[in-house]
Amino acid sequence: MSWDYKLTDEALKQLRKMGPEGSKRIISYLDSNITNCDDPRQFGKALTGKLGEFWRYRTSHYRIICRIEDHELVVLVIRAGHRRNIYD
């Protein structure tokens, strides 16, 4: 089983706003850890509360909020950004 990731329009917009360093770090993380992995849950952490359906991946000061879609073998990136404002 090989996984891949997709970015929502909102996630793409956030990556463009964040600048080259942050966006490169996030895309590099997704490419190295999610693409072609056996289980994307081994790298992230499930969120709780009102965000309970999502997973979080952490790379340096940035967070990636995703929904894991088992039926398509896709990690859908919902939001990406700096840790201080990603959960707003």
pTM: 0.89
pLDDT per residue over 23-59, tens digit each? 999 999 999 999 989 999 999 999 999 989 999 999 9
Domains and CATH numbers, the chain: 4-82 (3.30.2310.20)
How far, in Å, CA of 58 to CA of 52, rounded? 17
- The tokens describing 59, both together, are 């790379």
